[in-house]
């Protein structure tokens, strides 16, 4: 009986001590660390904010709704929940930005996605136009340990099959903005770095033209009034419209980029 009474006494003392500190801060996750459990929809949202606002700009919820294929109200509601979790900042009429924790979570998902794409192509022989939807599904269920094993098995690739940089395990990524093929002056030789990966038909068309990461391209002519480009891809001569050329990112000298005014002539 004494031990029980003593335990109750100690418990009561503890309760009294806690009651004496009503303003003690609640226990919460460290704000600069990603949450242990983030739902797949939240991962998709954070990844979309990163991809649209890669330069650190605020992203409009209307742009997010279009990118994710969701209603604007659903996107705004998710923004509020992620802001409460410390993963984004959200100001009505100004847009959404990732916090440090949100950026880390987004890059973690991007690493999983891009490593899975690379593994499907290099280890399993998938064509590059079929891996994006598979990676979209698997990125939410694959563990970081499995993704690291996949990366090691194919030689630690630094880019995915479409040329997008793969973040490291520590969340470091070389994702500097690149000019598009549509912005290159006539007479300029460039190298394809990256292409958009979401449209399988577009990827098949680019592959048929030889416009894949690493390809050497020379812009021969720029038609006036936003007309098509005439390009050489290897030994083949191709014509490519500006909307498609915008989807092809390249390495080009800064002094050989066409101005916006000249692109629209």
**103 and 193 share one domain:** no
Can you spell out the DSSP letters for 147-209? HHHHHHHTT--SB-TTSPBPPPTTS--------BGGGBPTT-EEEEEEE--S-HHHHHHHHHH
- Give the end of a domain, one of 125, 157, 174: 174
**123 and 42 share one domain:** yes
**49 and 139 share one domain:** yes
**165 and 76 share one domain:** yes
Distance CA(202)–CA(182), nearest Å, equals 16
**143 and 42 share one domain:** yes
| Residue of 213, 200, 42 whose CA lies nearest to 133 | 200
Model pLDDT, residue 112: 98
**42 and 84 share one domain:** yes
CATH of the domain at 233: 2.30.30.90
**216 and 128 share one domain:** no
**51 and 89 share one domain:** yes
**Helices marked H in the chain:** 2-19, 40-52, 61-68, 72-84, 100-122, 131-138, 144-153, 200-209, 242-245, 260-263
Q: Output the tens digit of pLDDT for each of the chain's 265 residues.
A: 444 444 444 444 433 333 333 333 333 333 344 445 799 999 999 999 999 998 678 999 999 999 999 998 899 999 999 999 999 999 888 899 999 999 999 999 999 999 999 999 999 999 999 999 999 999 999 999 999 999 999 999 999 999 999 999 999 998 888 999 999 999 999 999 999 998 999 999 999 999 999 999 999 999 998 899 999 998 999 999 999 999 999 998 765 666 543 433 3
Rg of the chain taking only CA atoms, in angstroms:
25
Indicate whether 64 belongs to any domain.
yes
Residue ranges making up the domain that contains 196 = 181-263
Model pLDDT, residue 207: 96
CATH of the domain at 70: 1.10.10.10
Indicate whether 8 belongs to any domain.
no
* Number of domains into which the chain is organized: 2
**166 and 186 share one domain:** no
Indicate whether 6 belongs to any domain.
no
**205 and 104 share one domain:** no
CA 118 to chain centre: 15
**186 and 203 share one domain:** yes
Check: CB of residue 241 under 8 Å from CB of residue 181.
Answer: no
Indicate whether 145 belongs to any domain.
yes
DSSP state, residue 259: P
Indicate whether 153 belongs to any domain.
yes
- Give the end of a domain, one of 149, 174, 199: 174
The model carries a pTM of 0.80
- Give the end of a domain, one of 154, 174, 194: 174
Indicate whether 57 belongs to any domain.
yes
**36 and 132 share one domain:** yes
Indicate whether 7 belongs to any domain.
no
Calculate ∠ Cα 241-213-113, nearest 5°.
105
Distance CA(215)–CA(23), nearest Å, equals 62
Indicate whether 33 belongs to any domain.
yes
Q: What are the angstrom distances between the C-alpha of 149 and each of 118, 142, 214? A: 12, 11, 26
Check: CB of residue 211 under 8 Å from CB of residue 233.
Answer: yes
Distance CA(258)–CA(245), nearest Å, equals 13
């Amino acid at each position: 009986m004494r031990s029980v009474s003593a335990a109750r006494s100690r418990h009561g003392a503890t309760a009294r001590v806690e009651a004496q500190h009503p303003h003690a801060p609640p226990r919460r996750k460290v704000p600069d660390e990603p949450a242990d459990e983030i739902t797949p929809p939240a991962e998709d949202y954070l990844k979309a904010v990163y991809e649209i606002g890669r330069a650190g700009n605020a992203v409009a919820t209307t742009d997010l709704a279009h990118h994710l294929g969701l209603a604007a109200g659903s996107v705004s509601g998710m923004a509020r929940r992620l802001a409460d979790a410390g993963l984004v900042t959200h100001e009505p009429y100004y847009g959404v930005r990732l916090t440090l924790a949100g950026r880390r979570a987004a890059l973690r998902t991007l690493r999983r996605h891009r490593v899975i794409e690379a593994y499907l192509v290099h280890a399993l022989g998938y064509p590059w136009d079929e891996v994006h939807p598979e990676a979209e599904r698997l990125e939410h269920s694959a563990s970081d340990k499995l993704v690291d094993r996949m990366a090691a098995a194919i030689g630690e690739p630094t880019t995915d099959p479409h040329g997008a940089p793969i973040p490291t395990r520590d969340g470091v990524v070389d994702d500097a903005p690149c000019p598009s093929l549509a912005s290159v002056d006539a007479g300029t030789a460039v190298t394809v770095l990256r292409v958009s990966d979401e449209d399988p038909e577009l990827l098949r068309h680019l592959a048929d033209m030889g416009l894949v990461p690493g390809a050497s391209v020379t812009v021969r002519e720029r038609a006036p009034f936003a007309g098509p480009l005439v390009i050489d891809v290897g030994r083949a001569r191709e014509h490519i419209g500006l909307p498609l050329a915008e989807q092809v990112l390249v390495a080009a000298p800064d002094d050989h980029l066409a101005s916006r005014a000249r692109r629209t002539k």
